[in-house]
Amino acid sequence: MCRASLPCYACARPSRERERERERERAVLERRRCAGLPVPAAGEQGGHFCACAEVRPGEAGLPLSPPERAGRRGARGPGGAPQKEGPRCAPVRWFQPRVQPASAADVMALGPPPSEAAPLLASLRPSPPPPLIPGSPYAVLVLQEGYSEELPDGSTRADGTVTLVLGPHLTLVDTGGPWGRERLLAGLAERGVSPGDIRHLVCTHGHSDHAGNLNLFPQAELIVGTDVCLPDGCYLPTGLRQGDPYPLHAGLLEVLPTPGHTQADVSLLVRGTALGDILVAGDLFECQGDEGLWQALSEDPARQAQSRTQALAIANIIVPGHGPPFWVSRKEPGRGGMAGDPSR
Ligand SMILES: [Fe+2]
């Protein structure tokens, strides 16, 4: 039974569906374990939490929220007795935004970054965001800035952004086009990284300017759109197609389904860098100020518009598929967002 004012996604689903999801999560963990990939310890995975009571903390494959973890470590009730563990629920679709999406009326001049740490972020806020966004445990480095340029004959010359997420789970997002293979290898080598060091490769979608060098990384877990494949060619069941996130590192790295440009588009959310939460978004955003451009390249503009709105509600910085990173600006905390002002 759900004690929240509104039932969460997990509690609104039939119990058989929840059970199937738990089985699927257990199977994914087991296969990752067999493949030698990192497996979060019980109670240390990421996820979304509400006040629902159906699932208890610490169940196999289910995460604890940071407040719950803190509570386990030391929260005390009256008389110094340990507090009863709070209720929790299974991860919820990421499309449930943390803040309300912006309406057209909200799309206004630049405002401060939206978070409890807004003053700190504002003081750190360079213009534009740097190619290396520092952070611990994860920093984000734009290894190759994507571009797209129309030629006089009506053709377009383009290559996709390639992003390296530096930290305990070394992750590459997109590989650029096959014509840039040597440049990609050189860019990695310059940072002391060989292709075999990449633990997760997230390919935001299957277009040639993003997926052109996948075969450099046979030892990585490959997340190509909504397909997830282990190094031995074993494909894992996930909920990405149903709108569920796929965590790579508990509470820190999360693959999110962001359909529209293609129906299988995904993005990588990197939480808690020094400049806030970073969404490496592929062609969900072509570049900053791409209104009027992205629609022409979209398989499903209505769905992509929804994905863009949700992305703007959760990220502080967006790394687009064909341009430099940009800040997400909001009118005020809790009022949704917009892509940064191109004049900035
Ligand atoms: Fe694309």
Give SS3 for 144. Answer: strand
CA of residue 162 to ligand 1 center, whole Å = 13
CA of residue 297 to ligand 1 center, whole Å = 8
Query: For residue 256, what are the β-bridge partners?
Result: 267
Listed residues: CB within 5 A of ion ligand 1 = 207, 283
CA of residue 292 to ligand 1 center, whole Å = 16
CA of residue 274 to ligand 1 center, whole Å = 29
Query: Which residue spans within the chain are E strands per DSSP?
Result: 132-133, 139-144, 147-150, 156-159, 162-166, 171-173, 200-203, 221-224, 227-229, 235-236, 246-249, 253-257, 266-273, 276-282, 317-320, 326-329, 338-339
CA of residue 36 to ligand 1 center, whole Å = 32
Q: Rounded CA gap, 325 and 131, in Å?
A: 7
**Would you say how long the chain is, in residues?**
344
Q: Rounded CA gap, 317 and 339, in Å?
A: 9
CA of residue 158 to ligand 1 center, whole Å = 10
Angle among Cα 217, 130, 211 to the nearest 5 degrees reads: 25
Q: Using the 8-state DSSP alphabet, how is residue 101 labeled? A: P
Say which residue the tokens 């970073």 belong to.
Answer: 278
Q: Rounded CA gap, 266 and 263, in Å?
A: 9
> In the numeric block, which tokens belong to residue 313?
């509600």
Domains observed in the chain:
9-80 (no CATH), 104-339 (3.60.15.10)
CA of residue 88 to ligand 1 center, whole Å = 38
Q: Are 244 and 238 in contact (CB under 8 A)?
A: yes
Nearest-CA neighbor of 200 among 214, 181, 183, 186?
Answer: 214
Using left for φ > 0, alpha for ψ between -120 and 50, and beta otherwise, residue 233 falls in left
CA of residue 97 to ligand 1 center, whole Å = 25
Q: Compute, in degrees rounded to 10, the torsion defined by CA atoms 315, 223, 246, 310.
A: 30
CA of residue 9 to ligand 1 center, whole Å = 31
How crowded is residue 67: how many other Cβ atoms within 10 Å of its Cβ? 12
CA of residue 189 to ligand 1 center, whole Å = 26
Which amino acid, 56?
R
> In the numeric block, which tokens belong to residue 145?
């800035």
Residues 6+ apart with CB under 8 A from 278: 133, 140, 269, 270, 315, 316, 317, 318, 319, 325
pTM (2 d.p.): 0.67
Using left for φ > 0, alpha for ψ between -120 and 50, and beta otherwise, residue 188 falls in alpha
Average confidence (pLDDT) per 10 residues, the chain, 344 residues: 37 54 68 61 39 30 36 38 36 31 30 45 64 94 96 95 97 98 97 96 98 97 98 94 96 98 98 96 97 96 98 97 92 47 34
CA of residue 204 to ligand 1 center, whole Å = 9
Give SS3 for 214. Answer: helix
CA of residue 151 to ligand 1 center, whole Å = 18
Q: Using the 8-state DSSP alphabet, how is residue 272 labeled? A: E
CA of residue 98 to ligand 1 center, whole Å = 27
CA of residue 17 to ligand 1 center, whole Å = 33
CA of residue 296 to ligand 1 center, whole Å = 11
Contacts 24+ apart (CB under 8 A), 60-63: 60/22, 60/25, 60/26, 60/29, 61/22, 61/25, 61/26, 61/28, 61/29, 62/22, 62/25, 62/88, 62/90, 62/91, 63/91, 63/247, 63/250, 63/251
76-87: burial string, b at 16+ Cβ within 10 Å, e else: eeeeeeeeeebb
Q: What is the pLDDT of residue 33?
A: 67
CA of residue 207 to ligand 1 center, whole Å = 5
Query: Which residue spans within 174-265 are E strands per DSSP?
Result: 200-203, 221-224, 227-229, 235-236, 246-249, 253-257
Give SS3 for 8. Answer: coil
CA of residue 197 to ligand 1 center, whole Å = 26
